[in-house]
Chain A
């Protein structure tokens, strides 16, 4: 089992560029999540998906869109990247009361 995988691991974008962060899990979890981590702020929920075909906004959804392509995959899209979106992005999947995190994507927007 690979658990939760994320691609890419690192990315540098220019302001206004778009990109999609990919996440996949092989644990057959219904729920998947996208978080961003900024210094001194812990993890903040961007979007989550309770099951295939559903998505909901979290604490900081502005500037992002998500797609729950199937049960395994949950992607995060930045349509027009801004410097404020420089962060480390973590995907997670879970069941009941437990979440498993991916290795993170470090994104820098210049």
Chain B
């Protein structure tokens, strides 16, 4: 079982501010790193799948970077909006071991 950790557990952000948070995972035998966005009362929705060291992916105002050698990924939200409020999950490994999530609340 992989040890996948996310920090912080929760984040309050003012509307318009940018923010970022971390996912750490074992760097040995790296397979893939996934980011999901999970809104309350809905299913997790895939944001990114990252496989290459140094990879950077972007979807609108949300982007992610990957460092497989040191075992971490950052997710960035630029100019946060209230609709960005959700729990962001990362998962690693070929069987997808999930971290505990970072709950983001964007205040208007």
Q: Which residues of A contact B (CB under 8 A)?
A: 4, 33, 35, 40-45, 48, 58-59, 90, 97-104
Contact = CB atoms under 8 A, between A and B. Distances in A.
A99 B46 contact: yes
Contacts of B101: 42
B95 A42 contact: no
Contacts, number: 44
Interface of B: 1, 6, 9, 32, 34, 42-46, 49, 51, 89, 91, 95-101
7 contacts: A33-B96, A41-B100, A43-B89, A90-B43, A98-B49, A101-B45, A103-B43
Contacts of A43: 44, 89, 91, 98
A contact patch SS:
strand
Contacts of A98: 34, 46, 49
A42 B49 contact: no
Contact of B95 (A4, A45, A102, A104): A45
